[in-house]
Amino acid sequence: MIELHLLIHGEGALSLELWRRCLARLCQRVTLFHRVEQAMPAVEAGDVNALILVVGGADISDSLKTLSYLREFLELPILVIVDAMSSLHAARFLDAGADDFLTADTDAREVLARVRCKCRRSDKPPGRVISACGLRIDMTTMEVRWQEHPIHPSAKELLILKALASQPYRVFTKAQLEQILYGAGFCAKSNTIQVFIHALRKMTHRDAILTVRGVGYCLGPAPA
């Protein structure tokens, strides 16, 4: 049976380390992460099969926000395992973006079987190309081209480009781009995003990324 590479993240869950050990014991690669940017290199390289979010505690509001955020930026099957909550919460997690919902008493073998099922049903290829407004990102090789000329953004600059190119008509706020780079709750310097945007414009074109005054940034139309 093919080995899976799973990302596992916890939201106030005491059983997080237990789940990591149980899944790893079944000869799976399991990577624990605490912030989104820790997971992105493996995700961008196409080296991850699924993400498991382990939730604990009575207040699920933060977990639902985390799930919605992960769903927005990750194109992976996401399974939610709850520590001590009723299955009555299943609908809320599924609506927030989970592909499956399991309770803490689920056997680890069943968890893996469900992951394999989700992976089989996914029609997304392991690698793909994002192309928009003169920008082209090969998600397999991480090669980035602007107007067919190669450019070499840093890891964080690439995360910004990927977000903008994935939804070229969407305006991203400074706070949303900070979350993409650093995860929720991180307090960046006030000009951090502006510095990255300036660097990306130097690599491409001054109008490649537009500033929507008072709102944020989006990709601009490719110059003729």
CATH of the domain at 202: 1.10.10.10
Identify the sign of the CA torsion 193, 132, 7, 143. Answer: negative
Residue 106 lies in a domain: yes
Of 58, 90, 121, the one marking the end of a domain is 121
Give the pLDDT score at 126. 46
Q: Are both 60 and 156 inside the same structural domain? A: no
Give the pLDDT band (50/70/90) at residue 210. Answer: very high
Q: Are both 77 and 134 inside the same structural domain? A: no
Q: Are both 104 and 9 inside the same structural domain? A: yes
Domain count, the chain: 2
With 80 as the cut, is the pLDDT of residue 164 above it?
yes
Pairing of strands 149-151, 5-11: unpaired
Q: Are both 75 and 138 inside the same structural domain? A: no
Reduced DSSP (H G I as helix, E B as strand, rest coil) percent helix, strand, coil of the chain, to 5: 40, 20, 40
pLDDT digits 0-9 by tens, 58-112: 678 888 888 887 887 777 899 999 876 566 788 889 998 999 999 888 999 999 9
Q: Are both 107 and 199 inside the same structural domain? A: no
With 60 as the cut, is the pLDDT of residue 1 above it?
no
Q: Which of 1-5, 11-15, 32-36, 69-73 has the lowest mean pLDDT?
A: 11-15
**Distance between CA atoms of residues 200 and 154, nearest Å:** 10
DSSP label at 104? T
With 80 as the cut, is the pLDDT of residue 3 above it?
no
With 80 as the cut, is the pLDDT of residue 145 above it?
yes
pTM comes to 0.57
Q: What is the mean pLDDT of the chain?
A: 83
Q: Are both 112 and 202 inside the same structural domain? A: no
Give the pLDDT score at 58. 66
Give the pLDDT score at 65. 85
Which of 20-34, 111-125, 157-171 is the most confident on average?
157-171
User: Using an 8 Å Cβ cutoff, are 118 and 23 in contact?
Assistant: no
Q: Are both 149 and 211 inside the same structural domain? A: yes
Pairing of strands 135-138, 144-146: antiparallel
Which of 44-48, 111-115, 188-192 is the most confident on average?
111-115
**Distance between CA atoms of residues 75 and 64, nearest Å:** 17
With 70 as the cut, is the pLDDT of residue 185 above it?
no
- CA 17, chain centre distance (Å): 21
Which residue range forms the structural domain that includes residue 153? 129-219
Of 121, 143, 174, the one marking the end of a domain is 121
